[in-house]
Amino acid sequence: MYEFNFNRPASIADALTAIADADDGQFMAGGQTMIPVLKQRLAMPSDVVELANIDDLKGIAVDGGTVTIGAMTPHSEVHNSLEVADAIPALADLAGMIGDPHVRNRGTIGGSVANNDPAADYPAAVVGLGATVVTDRREIAGDDFFVDLFETALVEGELITAVRFPLPDKAAYMKFPNPASRYAIVGVFVSQSNGDVRVAVTGAGPCVFREVAMETALAADFSADAVAGISVSGDDFNNDIHASAEYRAHLVTVMAKRAVIKAG
């Protein structure tokens, strides 16, 4: 790891100033992706602006129709939150499937969506629920946020402050985890809200995407049988030591069926 300047601002305004003043600054949340990346010298920021002391980025608020999760809220807090379990059980469930207990104690929702790892779980919930990513300067619809492999709609120096999820009528997430890292080889998030169905797939392609054929089928008949016959093409899927593209394509249908059954 190369040396850097370490900043720990106590407010959003100070964090934005620190990033703007740096030659090549980078925000750090829990470091659960960034520290491994720094160790491999794949990144060499001049300044690391760590967000752990900013209270405005923390916590969970449930009001009426939405659950808002502060960017610096760790996965373990979302998983253990009775409010989240009550409002969107699928979200609490998903948070508990991320990595392992130690990663969940440090990794955050803001870091996870900003990073946009092709195998990350939260992007499936953001797209699968039609959530909104809130930043220091604007609100970005989940559908527009995840652009490509490790690429998001964020511009340089833009800070995620929270993610806001609308409450679905029902929803569920199922994933096939890599046995070593627990990252999703394929994960599928399904939701239904006022007849509107979303099916978001992570792990399979360069970044999360909606599986439209399954959405249409489930809108007509929300049952596992409705998706069982839909096979997706693996042409643009990831093909690596963990799984072939064909296997991932097969898993999309299997995980979609299981998620529909789990959603009830």
Partner 1 sequence: MPSVSMTVNGNAVGGDIEARTLLVDFIREHLRLTGTHVGCDTSQCGACVVHVDGTSVKSCTMLALQAEGCQVETIESLADGDTLHPMQEAFREHHGLQCGFCTPGMVMTAVAMAKENPNLTESDVRHGLEGNFCRCTGYQNIVESIIAGAKAMQG
Closest CB to partner 1 among 102 and 137? Answer: 102
Does 120 bind ligand FAD (CB under 6 A)? Our answer is yes
Long-range pairs, 147-152, Cβ under 8 A, ≥24:
147/116, 147/207, 148/206, 148/207, 149/116, 149/118, 149/206, 149/207, 150/115, 150/116, 150/117, 150/118, 150/207, 151/116, 151/207, 152/113, 152/114, 152/116
How far apart (Å, rounded) are the C-alpha atoms in residues 49 and 26?
A: 6
CA dist list (Å): 181 to 23, 177, 208:
33, 8, 19
Among 25, 70, 110, 128, binds ligand FAD (CB under 6 A): 110
Minimum distance, C-beta of residue 183 to partner 1, in the bound complex (Å): 11
Minimum distance, C-beta of residue 32 to partner 1, in the bound complex (Å): 6
Does 241 bind partner 1 (CB under 8 A)? Our answer is no
Minimum distance, C-beta of residue 4 to ligand FAD, in the bound complex (Å): 12
Among 66, 106, 244, 247, binds partner 1 (CB under 8 A): 106
Sign of CA dihedral 227, 231, 236, 237: positive
| Binding site partner of 65, from ligand FAD, partner 1, none, Cβ cut-off 5-8 A by kind | none
| 217 burial type by CB count under 10 A (0-12 exposed, 13-18 middle, 19+ buried) | buried
Minimum distance, C-beta of residue 238 to ligand FAD, in the bound complex (Å): 15
- Which stretches of the chain bind partner 1, using CB under 8 A? 1-6, 8, 30-32, 35-36, 38-39, 48, 50, 52, 76, 99-103, 105-106, 180-182
- Which stretches of the chain bind ligand FAD, using CB under 6 A? 26-34, 51, 71, 98-99, 103, 106-108, 110-112, 114-115, 120-122, 159-160, 181-183
